[in-house]
A and B are shown apart, each in its own frame.
Chain A
Amino acid sequence: MVARAETVAIPQWQRGKLASWLVTVDHKRIGILYIATAGFFFLAGGIMAELIRTQLMRPDQTIVTRGDYNQLVTIHGTTMIFLVVVPVLTGLANFLVPLMIGAPDMAFPRLNALSYWLYLLAGVVLMLSFWAKGGAACAGWTSYPPLSTQCPGHGQDLWILSLHILGISSLIGAINFIVTIHNMRAPGMTWMRIPLFVWSIEVFAWLLVLVIPTIAAGVTMLLLDRQAGTHFFAPSHQGPILYQHAFWFFGHPEVYIMILPAMGIISEILPVFARKPIFGYKAIALSTVAIGFFSMLVWAHHMFTVGLPNYLNGFFMLSSMVIAVPTGMKIFNWLATLWRGNISLDTPMLYALGFLSVFTIGGLSGIYLAAFPVDWQVHDTYFVVAHFHYVLFGGSIFGILGGLFYWWPKIFGRFLDDRLGKWSFWFVFVGFNVTFFPQHMLGLMGMVRRIYTYQEHGLWEGYNMTSTIGSYVMSFGLLLFAVAVVKSLNGIRAGNDPWRADTLEWYTTSPPPAHNFDSVPYVTSARPLNDLRRALQEKRAL
């Protein structure tokens, strides 16, 4: 071993501050690259969101033109889903999964690096498409044909290209996660002893492997229709509906790809800050698998208004409702974890509790959408916009922010400022609800999605104004988070296990060395560090 290490000595040029990041195959550095890149795309997508909200603040505004507005809506959605939420979760998983299972790295470190660089490339392609001939894609993140086949210019083609590159990146990453989790667990770490976050990444990765091929096929046919004169989605044989099936067979599991890891984060944070074991470990793990499975059977609940026959609408209503059961199970188990705990309200815990409170609202508004006749009223309105921001911002992003505050000391060896963190939480939490709650009402009043302006005054204007002001408050909170990130360069140093947590990543130093662990303890439960602490106590007592 020693002799071998000498022969593969790192060449001089790769040791530079910048070069070492460019050539890295270390899962921790790749994880940080993912998170940082997603941070920049979050800023870009956030600016687009604020342009949208500012345009809609009052009736008949002309802050952006109608053509630009459609581009903003499309790229905002695509960015937040494909370039922010999924990659930042991939980044956290990259950093954490090997550490949590006691492995020295991912199974395929070079593929891991390829995955990141492809993601960056796809992001750059999408952002630069604003400057393409005819502007960026403008048919919405769903890009339904025939609108998307008729889009002039190259924006739509670049959107497809970007999704293709991202698809390859995600597939490679997902296979890497699956192989790593299946083969590289620490001695003694059986499936019922892996951290719940790792369970969520296992399901996340399988979902990606199973559904990315359909979107890849869907957008390939779209590209051929646009450029090669094929007629996959031609009206003459129900083509527009074929695309919607292909898109949503991917698109709905994608929602769970974005929320399951956030739920995994919550399952890690709650027990640590309530000083209790997670309530119902098996139930939470199995509900993750159940949600993953059923998420592939509900896609046409996005298509209740295309005029499917009753039996199909009925089936997709029932299957969508089935998902509510394991989801409810998780929420009740989390509540039970808090019960009789010793709750410390540090920033990670605030975000986790915030997740619980707003995700519940997003889950409940989902029942209205599943009951298809009610969906006929609220489909494609701001009610839906409110619903999916409640689950994707109030769910995924709250979970991610909580996770960043929680693992920052492990990733960088320094804390994010807790006081700034708490301020950021309250601005984000209040701003979020002020932004998105009134959108439920707007939708019920008849405001449809993706309109660049409206003429109605009165309550329409009032709710829109409220929503826009809320979005500014939320942005200010996120700005405070950015300040905390900068300040953390000189933040308080963290020890190995600053939160007295239960999982293996806290066994090594903060930040961990390149090889992660000098030694890995034999794992005897889902809480190896708790076991070690107890053993140590018993030894002292003797």
Chain B
Amino acid sequence: MHAPVRKLSLVVVGAVLGALIAASPALAGNAGFAPVTPDSPNAHTITDAYWFITGFALFVLVGVEGLLVTFIVRYRRRNRARDAEGPQIHGSTRLENMWTLIPVVILVAVAAFVFVKLPGIKNVPSANAAAGRLEVTVSGQQFSWQFTYPNGAVAIDHLRVPLGEPVHLTVTAPNWDVIHSWWIPALGGKIDAIPGRLNHTWFTARKLGTFSGRCAELCGVQHAAMLMTVEVLPRDQFEQWEARRAQQQTSGTARDTLGEEEWTGSCGKCHGLAGQGLYGPRIAGSGTLQDETALTKLLRNGLERPGRPAMPPVGREWSQDQLDALGAYLKERFGSQS
């Protein structure tokens, strides 16, 4: 390389590196320059992999863009003749080998990092004495998430879990539904909820609080409304909640809790939170809401309307407890209107 080029490229590379270092506090504050601050070991390891790749990526980026700018500045025409020929160099085997080999080394490093870290990201930790393991079935449906706990407790869109305990999620979607994708950024990567398939993922929340996420696979008109939250509770509070929800379901008093969740998650997203009609028609004041048989039939079968969007059979797989909870909620909420 010619001496002036070497000097100039050093200046350019130095300037870019300097700018990056100056910007690093902003990057550390993570304004979208890295995955959402992880609060679970698997998400944490993914973020490590992200930074590992970023190191190499920045190196290549600065190198390539630096050379590009340097060459453009250094070798621009200025007052040379437009057709003055440059040196007639046709290639160099040594250089070809070099820039084949260096990327190979970088990519091998990245792949090795991924394979070494993979078990810590993918494998569901086994239950241990200190903290058991919570098993939850997650079912994605147009346009809500249903969570089923080992004791039969059901929740919609709002998953409650205990702090510091591994949570194993079995993610699926009903056979009559479409593909969805489970993703809480702070608690790990995505896993698709695919009809006819059981997928697995896990997280161990390390912080109390609420984490939010969205369905990540286009699933129809209300895809954007398919939001979900994970609430991390202290262990005793979680156990109380889980027992109470299961007990309310069986005793038929779940109308204010599960019933409301079902209304908000399964009905409200298409018919409006007040039943005023949104994408689906207005249902407030409809007799079906008070008619147990008609309601069950509708929830189990959905509704085909020729030429218009169909209502999915949101309650086809609901237990009698779930149907009762919604029925009781609707009676209480809309009973006086009709």
Contacts and interface: CB of A to CB of B under 8 A. Distances in A.
B31 A276 contact: no
Interface stretch (B81-89, B132-140, B243-251): B81-89
A426 interface: no
Interface string A299-323: 0000001110010001001100110
Interface string B89-125: 1111001100110011001001100110110011000
Contact of B220 (A147, A274, A331): A147
Given A276-B85, A376-B46, A445-B32, A240 B195 contact: yes
B181 interface: yes
B67 interface: yes
Interface in B196-244: 196-197, 199-200, 212-224
Contacts of B216: 305, 379-381, 448-449
B200 A307 contact: yes
Given A317-B111, A446-B36, A344 B82 contact: yes
Contact of A321 (B84, B107, B217): B107
A372 B114 contact: yes
A451 B223 contact: yes
B168 to A, nearest CB: 14
B253 interface: no
A454 B224 contact: yes
A376 B279 CA distance: 31
B214 A446 contact: yes
A367 to B, nearest CB: 6
A324 interface: yes
B34 A332 contact: no
Contacts of A70: 218, 220-221, 223
A67 B89 CA distance: 57
A280 B96 CA distance: 8
Contacts of A328: 99-100, 103
A492 interface: no
Interface residues of B, number: 89
Contact of B224 (A235, A317, A451): A451
A182 B219 CA distance: 46
Contact of A449 (B65, B191, B218, B309): B218
B61 A361 contact: yes
Given A240-B195, A310-B118, A374-B46, A442 B181 contact: no
B175 interface: yes
Contact of A380 (B89, B181, B213, B221): B181
Nearest to B35: A377
A275 B85 contact: yes
A236 B175 CA distance: 7
Contacts of B33: 441, 444
B290 interface: no
A386 B62 CA distance: 19
Nearest to B88: A277
Interface stretch (A4-12, A333-341, A408-416): A333-341
A281 B91 contact: yes
Interface of B: 2, 31-36, 43, 45-46, 49-50, 53, 56-57, 60-61, 64-65, 67-68, 71-72, 75-77, 80, 82-92, 95-96, 99-100, 103-104, 107, 110-111, 114-115, 117-118, 121-122, 175, 177-179, 181, 183, 185, 188-192, 194-197, 199-200, 212-224, 279, 307-310
29 contacts: A67-B221, A134-B307, A146-B177, A238-B196, A241-B197, A277-B89, A280-B91, A306-B192, A338-B75, A342-B75, A343-B75, A343-B76, A356-B68, A367-B53, A367-B56, A371-B53, A372-B114, A373-B121, A374-B49, A377-B46, A442-B32, A444-B33, A446-B36, A446-B212, A446-B214, A449-B218, A450-B218, A451-B214, A500-B82
